[in-house]
Structure 1
Amino acid sequence: MAPPQATLHQGPPKNTMSATTSPAQLNQPAETAAPETRSLSKAAHTAYRIYKWLCLKARIKPVMSLRRKRGKGKDQRVAEAGAEAEDEDEDEDDIWTPEVYVYLLVGGHEVRATVNVIFDTGSLENIISTSCLREGFHGFAYSRSVGERIGTSLTGCEELLSIATIDIRWRGRNNRAQRPSIGPNYRYRVETSTCHVVESDEFDLIIGRPTINRLKLFTRNTDIFGGFRGVNKVKAENVEQEQKTADAQRDRAKEIKKLREKQEKEKKEAMKSTQQC
């Protein structure tokens, strides 16, 4: 009879599923259970393609803009250049300067020139010089006439003779300038004025008092005098009563002063009489 064999006490069976496994390792074969390097390489490839496209777009954009400029007509390019130059002139200064744009018809075309202006409240007329017309508007034609006296110079020794009258269109050169206390208050529009033409090279354009007042170029935005409160009826009576009291006190002070002077005079006379005795 064979000897009895010892029984081995084995523990509960091991749970082979208790090991940490990823869902990818359970659902995929062993050869594909490695980290997903394929998706990372795909993202990198997509980023590289976007970078290449941005570089290509940056190169194409200047070429397309150059083609558009070549496709435009000459007149359109000139007009756009003039508009850009005008905008630059408008914004180039933040300080007001005594200059205006003047527009005149020369040979059927409107010509603009920048001229120096004098706002003279002592002049009753708007005056433009022949040198301004000759230099700024070459070829401008106007009918000359016998000189008509319209004023005198500052010294009074020279008479200003008008040889013609013309209509001009003008506007302020830097309307957007920040000027809280200096410079005229231009309107955002082109003004029309009649000017006398004078033979001179001492100035370009003079704007007289009638035009200044009509356009309100020098109207102040702030009051010269500060606000004050009026005196009502009750306060007026109080002021009158106080005035009477003050007058009475001054009269009483004068009487007291006279009385003291009289007493001092009598005292001096008494002392003199005593000394003589």
Structure 2
Amino acid sequence: MSGAVQTGFPPPAGPRPPAPEPRWPRWLIVATVAWAVLLAGLTWVSARKDPPTVREQRTLAEAGPVVDAAIGELIAASWGAVPALVAPDVDRGCRITPFADGAELVRAVDLAVPVGEERAALQEISDRLPTAWRAGVRVTSEGPRLRADAGDFVTVQGRPVADGRIRLTVDTGCRLVGDDYTAPGADTAGAEAGAEAGALAEALRALGSTGIEPEVVVAPCPGGGLARTVRSAAGALTASPQATLAPLAGGTPVVDTGEVYAFRRDGVAVLADLGADEVVLSATTGCAG
């Protein structure tokens, strides 16, 4: 048995205590808080001052006036043709995300132009649109196409839909609804006494029809005032509508095909859609170009 004695302290009986966590310097904490406050402030200012960077940042209610104004610009730019405003269409079937419903607003202008001059008409309209829209016409495998940007992610397009017929559309794409879209007020009483109503009634009488309750569609003109279309169905006809309407056109219609008869009379554009079952008449007063 050895008599040697061990010296020193005995080893600890339990685990070692954890090392103390490092403490952040006070200056680093202050800098982090200041940066967070600055970032929050910049975000607040950007949300209220900066223009939207994606379509969904503008609701349908906010985009509606842009669409209406764009329709007025199109009417002013296309007055060399025979235009007719189409009633606004709101499609509520789209979705922004899997969890958020949306809606899409589309407004349109139908044009009658001489057969064979559809591309030239689109180019003329493109040249007369605001420079900021960056409008242009290109020829595709499906024919000429007009495209433009009315701002706030509102798209403008135009294309021939038949011989002597063009449709111009203004589209918001899918948006949050917001306070919803309200179409420009159509003064029905004023429309009934306007030049377009008189031209419509005259055409209906020539066709031997009283028509139905007229539809009134309006759009704001760039320089003030309203473009207005009054539309009514004349029903099925036994006589040739082209021959019946020819005296009103002075014998020189702008368009005369099997599907459309269009002319101008006393500053009003009159467009007759010649369907198999009925004739639909539109009379339009437009905007100064």
Length-normalised TM-score, structure 2? 0.26
Length-normalised TM-score, structure 1? 0.27
Query: Which has a greater percent of helix?
Result: 1
Query: Which has a greater percent of strand?
Result: 2
Larger radius of gyration: 1
